[in-house]
């Protein structure tokens, strides 16, 4: 099969496009013929060696949408031909390719009304947003939330989910993405190129932080006493707040079929629409990784595999 993979750690230039062996379905697994795979903020970090995987060749990518082409022993709830989408098990990478083997228990049925491209775009982003907003922050109607990095993939899903819950949503992005982030439903959008969010946002009940570095640590300042912040771009643990009257959280992001079903439900009810997508052919995965690594774009970068 064709795949985009690395054989050593480095920048996007180490990503190679070529042939690797087809996977086979082990017990409890299905093989998926990938139609689309998305590029996530984690992928340049994996390429750089931040996650310490050492087995080469290493195919990048964490989420996918496609069609089941083989079923392993013990799988009774999926069959050949089913259209599915999902996120690989925690700690695994390998969706920038034509075929992948994955546990049937983490895969969801792709709704007919959702394209493969949009399903791939919403898989890891939707999973992460649901885990952060519903499970970690337990956001409630009437609360005010600051969602950092509104133009990114996870934040786009989170903004829509937070609006559905009934929160007042404030978000941040660069000048060129202001209209896009407003179109997702954010009540207030701050241009971080011209305005320091700590000067204009205060008394938030919650923060969902998706940018990292000093944006993460400075986000504590906008919380009211008793407020909570959850972080996905600061590594495996939340940064430590300098003040003692707020809570710093790091969401667990478990791979389970129920989250794919929740994404499908939220999309089916019209609560969450897909992010803006920029498409790349699988053979051009390196270009997509370059854009992702630069960290300034709109919505999702998706690889069209077949």
Contact positions toward ligand NAP, by CB under 6 A? 40-42, 45, 124-125, 128, 148-149, 151-155, 172-174, 177, 192, 210-212, 215, 232-233, 253, 292, 295-298
Q: Which of residues 31 and 186 has its CB atom nearest to ligand NAP in the complex? A: 186
CB of 244 to ligand NAP, least distance (A): 26
Residue number of the CB atom closest to ligand NAP = 41
Smaller CB distance to ligand NAP: residue 23 or 239?
239
At 90, is the secondary structure helix, strand, or coil? coil
Helix axes 153-165, 116-130, angle to 10 degrees: 60
Q: What is the DSSP letter of 245?
A: S
Q: Residue 112 Cβ, how far from ligand NAP at the closest point, in Å?
A: 26
To the nearest whole angstrom, how small is the minimum distance from the Cβ of residue 74 to ligand NAP? 27
Q: Which is nearer to ligand NAP, 68 or 302 (CB)?
A: 302
Cβ pair 302, 37 in contact under 8 A: yes
d(CA 166, CA 245): 25
The residue among 177, 212, 134 whose CA lies nearest residue 296 is 177
Cβ(177)–Cβ(199) below 8 Å: no
Instruction: State the minimum distance, in angstroms, from the CB of residue 202 to ligand NAP.
Output: 18
Choose between 213 and 265: whose C-beta lies nearer to ligand NAP.
213
Nearer to ligand NAP, 3 or 155 (CB): 155
Provide the minimum distance between the beta carbon of 141 and ligand NAP in the complex, in angstroms, as a whole number.
25
Q: Is the peptide bond before 57 cis (omega within 30 degrees of 0)?
A: yes
Q: What is the DSSP string of 100-121?
A: EEEEGGGEEEPPTTS-HHHHHH
């Amino acid at each position: 099969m064709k795949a985009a993979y690395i054989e050593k750690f480095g920048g996007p230039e180490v990503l190679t496009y070529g042939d690797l062996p087809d996977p086979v379905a082990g017990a409890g697994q299905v093989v998926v013929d990938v139609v689309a795979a998305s590029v996530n903020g984690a992928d340049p970090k994996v390429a750089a060696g931040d996650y310490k995987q050492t087995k080469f060749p290493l195919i990048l990518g964490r989420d996918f949408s496609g069609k089941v082409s083989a079923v392993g022993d013990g799988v009774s709830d999926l069959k050949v031909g089913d259209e599915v989408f999902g996120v690989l098990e925690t700690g695994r990478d390998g969706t920038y390719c034509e075929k992948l083997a994955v546990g049937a228990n983490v895969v969801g049925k792709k709704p007919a009304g959702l394209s493969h491209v949009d399903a791939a775009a919403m898989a890891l982003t939707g999973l992460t947003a649901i885990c952060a907003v519903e499970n970690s922050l337990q956001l409630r109607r009437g609360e005010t939330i600051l969602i950092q990095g509104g133009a990114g993939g996870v934040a786009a899903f989170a903004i829509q989910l937070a609006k559905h819950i009934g929160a007042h949503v404030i978000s941040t992005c660069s000048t060129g993405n202001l209209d896009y982030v407003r179109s997702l439903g954010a009540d207030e959008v701050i241009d971080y190129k011209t305005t320091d969010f700590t000067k204009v946002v205060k008394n938030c009940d919650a923060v969902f932080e998706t940018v990292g570095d000093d944006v993460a640590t400075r986000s504590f300042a906008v919380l009211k006493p008793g407020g909570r912040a959850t972080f996905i771009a600061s590594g495996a643990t939340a940064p430590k707040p300098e003040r003692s009257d707020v809570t710093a959280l790091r969401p667990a992001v478990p791979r389970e079929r129920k989250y794919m079903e929740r994404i499908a439900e939220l999309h089916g009810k019209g609560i969450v629409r897909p992010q803006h997508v920029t498409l790349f052919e699988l053979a051009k995965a390196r270009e997509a990784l370059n854009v992702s690594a630069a960290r300034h774009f709109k919505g999702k970068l998706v690889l069209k595999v077949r």
